[in-house]
Chain A
Amino acid sequence: MLSAEELVIENLDKTFYAGNKHINALEQVDFTVKRGEFVNLIGPSGCGKSTLLRCIAGFEKPTKGRVCLNGQEITGPGVERMMVFQSFEQLFPWYTVQENIMFALKVTAMVTSCAERREVARTYLEMVGLTAFADFYPHQLSGGMKQRVAIARALSVRPRILLMDEPFGSLDAMTRSTLQEELIRIWEETGVTILFVTHNIEEAIILGDRIVVFESNPGRIKAVITNKLARPRSPEANEFNIIWEQIHSLLRFKHPEKARPERSVTKLFTEERKLSLMTHL
């Protein structure tokens, strides 16, 4: 292990041009993720959090700045950065659940023999508790099951980092909370680094070691909150509510000083807290 800094995002700008208009989706985004860390990105819609994830995945090219994984600059999509999408359409409908995973193993040349691929696929299906559904086609699965398969498929090719773009965003509250628990278990089992975009404050607090709060127009990091709550986390805990309110006020007000920050809260979470609007303070 050379350095604990797995993912480094340096001075990243992303501008979209539409005709003669341009939109600063991301501006001066600067932050790092440590190996094995679980980081949540949260912000209002249109704040560029998904764009950032897509820049890391290599689907978008940054306008300025760069993204490095394990010391290597990212220039395009790669199997060491697997994305899990929100859409239930991310599985290939013409393959069964097992074949979806086997296909990923085949095209990435992770496993050469077909029998071995079947074995590996089984292992990952077991991890998400879907061995009984191995021979089902995606259209026969519920939304939650589809997302589990997508997670299993992404992990099967052994990525260094898992990029999750609101994967539970279209699920009902019950399924969502079960999957959150399972994701934490899988994360602890595999030790994979996870970057997780959400717009749900509760989800961010339940999952993340750190929560990066974005503001929109332009999309910038507003604050980074370290979340040291003991796992498993429950929304009933007092500290949970403190963090919730802190994020809530960060999201609601453009200028943090107007958000009436409580002294105790800021003291609790100052160490990683970084305000891009320093000049206003």
Chain B
Amino acid sequence: MVKEKEGIIHRKKTLNQVLFILGALIGWELLAWTGWFPPLLFPKMSQVFIHLWTELSGGELLQRVVFSLYIIGLGLGLAVVTAALVTTGAMLSPLFSDWVQALMAVLHPLPGIAVLPIIILWLGTGSRSIVAVIWFSSIWPLIANLHTGLRSVPTTQIEVGRNLGLKGIALVRSILLPGAFPYILTGLRVGWARAWQASVAAEMVFGASGGEGGLGWFIYKKRFFMEIPSVFGGMIIIILIGLLVERLCFEAVEVRTVRRWGMTSE
């Protein structure tokens, strides 16, 4: 009964939000029709979607999407591995833990894109540099959340594990990691968002060598040729990917794990 009612309320809310977005798009279209703004800078929404369709069917946009996802996956994957290693080290040695905390305090406030100039000097203007910026942008929230998550596991649960004869890796795997999972998920969410931002921003600075590049590069190039509807098209694709990943990955995982286990704070 309660569940049903909640479902109805939830559906109503979603419908409201979808209608609002549609309304905003139509509003945009009408505003463009008035001709108050130069059409070159403020294209009609219908125009944006037509261009989007052409770009998609031409195959170039899809290629850019795949490239973006690949490079983000690479950077984020490397960041996850590094974060896991660093956190393990911090758990084993209090001295190392102090260092990591100092490093986090100093480097976390530094936006990933701010290190780009120096990374270009070190690694050149290839995709390696973009991966490095993504890595740098996403690693701090990953470490911070993993660290907090492991510390948030109640001592009692760890002691129950030890009582049952678990220690070392087995204890970490079967008690600490699941216990820290809500934080790990948050870390991945923030890390993913940071990775996106970093990749788009980095590509806008130097594009990519050899004509290879992701969505940031796509938008940058289209602006260069003043194909403004395609610029907006690229933005729409970024928004859609963001929504899809949130709904299909993070939310789906959250519903099946953290929320089912009652490990959320809400």
Query: For B157, what are the chain A residues with a Cβ–Cβ distance below 8 Å?
Result: 89-90, 92
Binary interface encoding of chain B residues 127-164 relative to chain A, with 1 for a CB under 8 A from any of its CBs, else 0? 00000000000000000000000000010110111111
Given contacts A89-B156, A94-B178, contact A79 B163 (CB under 8 A): yes
B162, B174, B175, B261: the one contacting A139 at CB < 8 Å is B261
Given contacts A85-B159, A89-B154, contact A107 B263 (CB under 8 A): no
Query: For A78, what are the chain B residues with a Cβ–Cβ distance below 8 Å?
Result: 163, 165
Q: Which of A78, A79, A81, A92 has the most chain B CB atoms closer than 10 A to its own CB?
A: A92
- Asked if residues A79 and B262 are in contact (CB atoms below 8 Å), the reply is no
Interface bracket on B: 20 to 34
In the bound complex, CA of A139 to CA of B259 (Å)? 10
Instruction: Give chain A nearest CB distance to B36 CB in angstroms.
Output: 56
- Asked if residues B164 and A137 are in contact (CB atoms below 8 Å), the reply is no
Binary interface encoding of chain B residues 237-266 relative to chain A, with 1 for a CB under 8 A from any of its CBs, else 0? 000000000000000000001001111000
Is A57 an interface position by the 8 A CB rule? yes
Which B-chain residue is minimally distant from A157 (CB atoms)? B164
A79, A85, A93, A138: the one contacting B164 at CB < 8 Å is A79
- Asked if residues A107 and B164 are in contact (CB atoms below 8 Å), the reply is yes
Is B123 an interface position by the 8 A CB rule? no
In the bound complex, CA of A216 to CA of B157 (Å)? 28
In the bound complex, CA of A77 to CA of B164 (Å)? 8
Binary interface encoding of chain A residues 34-57 relative to chain B, with 1 for a CB under 8 A from any of its CBs, else 0? 000000000000000000000001
- Asked if residues B262 and A137 are in contact (CB atoms below 8 Å), the reply is yes
- Asked if residues B163 and A94 are in contact (CB atoms below 8 Å), the reply is no
- Asked if residues A77 and B154 are in contact (CB atoms below 8 Å), the reply is no
Given contacts A90-B156, A92-B178, A94-B181, contact A79 B261 (CB under 8 A): no
A87, A137, A138: the one contacting B156 at CB < 8 Å is A87
Is A123 an interface position by the 8 A CB rule? no
Is A104 an interface position by the 8 A CB rule? yes
Instruction: Give chain A nearest CB distance to B243 CB in angstroms.
Output: 28
Binary interface encoding of chain A residues 58-90 relative to chain B, with 1 for a CB under 8 A from any of its CBs, else 0? 010000000000000000011101110101011
Is A108 an interface position by the 8 A CB rule? yes
Which A-chain residue is minimally distant from B175 (CB atoms)? A92
- Asked if residues A77 and B262 are in contact (CB atoms below 8 Å), the reply is no
Binary interface encoding of chain A residues 172-208 relative to chain B, with 1 for a CB under 8 A from any of its CBs, else 0? 0000000000000000000000000000000000000
Which A-chain residue is minimally distant from B160 (CB atoms)? A90
B155-192 CB contacts (< 8 Å) to partner A: 156-157, 159-166, 170, 174-175, 178-179, 181
- Asked if residues B156 and A77 are in contact (CB atoms below 8 Å), the reply is no
Q: Which of B156, B164, B257 has the most chain A CB atoms closer than 10 A to its own CB?
A: B164
Query: For B178, what are the chain A residues with a Cβ–Cβ distance below 8 Å?
Result: 92, 94
- Asked if residues B163 and A77 are in contact (CB atoms below 8 Å), the reply is yes
A59, A81, A137, A157: the one contacting B261 at CB < 8 Å is A137
Which A-chain residue is minimally distant from B174 (CB atoms)? A107
Which B-chain residue is minimally distant from A57 (CB atoms)? B163
- Asked if residues B160 and A107 are in contact (CB atoms below 8 Å), the reply is no
Instruction: Give chain A nearest CB distance to B261 CB in angstroms.
Output: 5
A116-140 CB contacts (< 8 Å) to partner B: 137-140
Query: For B262, what are the chain A residues with a Cβ–Cβ distance below 8 Å?
Result: 93, 137-140
B53-72 CB contacts (< 8 Å) to partner A: none
A59, A92, A94, A140: the one contacting B159 at CB < 8 Å is A59
Given contacts A87-B154, A90-B157, contact A77 B165 (CB under 8 A): yes
In the bound complex, CA of A1 to CA of B261 (Å)? 45
User: Which B residues form the contact surface with A (CB < 8 A)?
Assistant: 154, 156-157, 159-166, 170, 174-175, 178-179, 181, 257, 260-263
CB pairs A–B below 8 angstroms (15 shown): A59-B162, A77-B165, A78-B165, A82-B163, A85-B156, A85-B159, A92-B157, A92-B160, A94-B261, A94-B263, A107-B161, A107-B174, A137-B262, A138-B262, A139-B261
Q: 19 new A-B pairs (CB below 8 Å) besides A93-B262, A138-B262?
A: A77-B159, A77-B165, A78-B163, A78-B165, A79-B163, A79-B164, A85-B160, A87-B154, A89-B156, A90-B154, A90-B160, A92-B160, A92-B178, A93-B179, A93-B261, A93-B263, A103-B174, A108-B164, A108-B165
